[in-house]
Amino acid sequence: MSNSFSIRIATRDDASSIAQFNVIFAKSNDNRQLSLPVTAAGVRRVFDTFNNGLYIVAERENEIIGVTMVTREWSDWSNGFFYCIQDIFVQAEDPNYEIHDALLNKVVELAKLNEDVCGIRLYVLDDDKKTQEHYTAKGIKKTKYQVFEMFNEDAK
């Protein structure tokens, strides 16, 4: 099998594969069991409106091997949007972060094309020290903020 891969913006045709990636990712990284039908509906909803975000995929031999979702967060302090990378998931072996970096670089490239984007934020699991060290070595700074969340139990 070839080691070469390509990076592209995902299309609606990728929704099913992305949803399956999300289920696998949640189980392997957060030990969370996601409902595939709910996740698939959530992925399709991203494609409904650009404001919901976009997906970038890594592909090898017509098979998706990596995915990241990018959302936009408005910053009134900066009068611009942050592109928020909602983690990068690579299913294939990626010991040198080649696929991770290619996905990240595509997001950076897209951000530079949009003058309304003031920066990029990247979510990384707290216990994934190896990935944090990699991103720090690339010049991405850890912020002083931590993310807290609360779920709306009444939401669908």
* CA 21/CA 90 separation, integer angstroms: 9
Q: How far apart are CA 42 and CA 69, in angstroms?
A: 12
Report which residue type is found at 106: K
Tell me, what's the pLDDT at 155?
A: 67
- Retrieve residue 75's tokens: 């910053």
What domains can be seen in the chain, in order of their start residue? 6-137 (3.40.630.30)
Each residue's pLDDT tens digit, 9-26: 999 999 999 999 899 988
pTM score of the predicted model? 0.89
**Alpha helices of 1-156 — where are they, by DSSP H?**
15-30, 36-48, 98-113, 129-137
What does the pLDDT look like over 42-98, one tens digit per residue?
Answer: 999 999 986 779 999 999 998 999 999 999 999 999 999 999 998 899 987 888 999
The per-residue pLDDT for 125 is 85
